[in-house]
Structures are given as structure tokens and as C-alpha cells.
Amino acid sequence: MNGRCYDFLMRGFEKVALREARRTMLSSLEGRILEVGCGTGVNFEWYRDPSMVTAIDPDKDMLKVARSVCPAGLRVEPWGLEDIPLEGYSFDHIVCTLVLCSVRDPGEAFETMKRLLKPGGTVHLLEHVKGVGLPGRLHELCTPLWSKVAGGCHLNRKTLRLLEESGFQMVKSSTVLTFIGTPFVTATARLQ
């Protein structure tokens, strides 16, 4: 996806809620951090020590923008989560924002994260999830078509439930924005 177009489309959401949610979630993190699907690098400004961060994304167009805003010391790699050479990598935190809606298999993604985290490590998510009631039914109905036109994005994922089913213990979660029935949620969860 063209990174500049993506940033333009997201501008309103960032202004209303997402930018503040990113700041709250990321600005106090310490230790080794992996950011999965960094896109255009919108989270980079919030890391206290960029030299502790490795950011990955397989999309070269998004990475072009990410590299242009990348602070000194932050490492950017053109990898998907499934491409990370697991040996020699262990992180205190894994950050994943607006990514799990479009990975092929979010359950598999959580299993990979478990292998990449140190014991007691935490994941920090900002994701949109399936709504409740009528919006939820519409999300179910629209996802097959929507995912074709929106780069594999699924409106109907129950990401927080899956996070807990995958063996993470929820530390905190909150809804930061609801846009036409679509909740955008943040969550911090610990590897048990």
C-alpha cells in the first residue's frame, strides 16, 4: 500500500483518538521492543529509547515512509512476523497496532509472539475488533468483500478474546474509539 495515502486516510482517526492512544500505550515502555507491522512508522515518535526497538513490516512502500521518519538507532527490517529468524531474538515487549485484522492467522501470530517474548514479557495491541449486536452482524456480512478491497483487513475478528485464549493474561484493555459500530481497542497482556 502507498504509505502516504495510508497516512492521509488515517489522519482523522489519528487526530480524534489514535495518536493519544499510541502515546499512552507506548511512551513508558522500557527494555527490548519488537514492533510488528510498523507501516509508515507512526509509533516511532513515542519510544523512549529507539535503540531498543526493532520494527518489521513486509510492505516495501510502507517501509519507505517508515525509514524517512525513523529515529537514529531504531532498527527497521523488511520482514513479516513469520519471517523473523527466531534464534537469538527475545523481547520484553511486542507492539502490534492495526495489524492483526490483516494477518493471515492471528492465532498463529500470537504463537509466534510467545516464542519471541521473554518470560513475563508483554504484548501491546491497538486493533479494531468485531462490534456487538447489529454492527457485529454487519461486520460478519461485509468482511468477505471488505477484505478483498482493503488489503486483507477483517472487520469481524475477536482479537482480544483470541489473545486470552492463546495464553496471555490481560493486564488492561479499553475502547479508545468507536466508528460506525467498530470498536478500536487497546490491550496490554502478559505472557503467563
In the bound state with ligand SAM, the residue whose beta carbon lies nearer, of 105 and 165, is: 105
In the bound state with ligand SAM, the residue whose beta carbon lies nearer, of 37 and 121, is: 37
Buried b (16+ CB within 10 A) or exposed e, 109-146: bbebbbebbeeebbbbbbbbbbbeeebbebbeeebeee
Shortest approach of ligand SAM to residue 43 CB, angstroms? Answer: 6
Q: By CB under 6 A, is residue 42 in contact with ligand SAM? A: yes
* Site residue total, ligand SAM (CB under 6 A): 18
In the bound state with ligand SAM, the residue whose beta carbon lies nearer, of 97 and 122, is: 97
Q: By CB under 6 A, is residue 57 in contact with ligand SAM? A: yes
* Residue of 21, 29, 33, 38 interacting with ligand SAM (CB under 6 A): 38
Give the containing element (helix H, strand E) for 67. helix 60-68
Shortest approach of ligand SAM to residue 62 CB, angstroms? Answer: 4
Q: How far, in Å, CA of 77 to CA of 156, rounded?
A: 29
Distances 71 to 12, 41, 46, 52, 157 between C-alpha atoms, Å: 24, 10, 10, 11, 33
Name which of 1, 146, 166 is nearest 182 in CA terms.
146
Task: Give contact residues for ligand SAM (rule: CB under 6 A).
Answer: 36-39, 42, 56-59, 62, 80-82, 97-99, 102-103
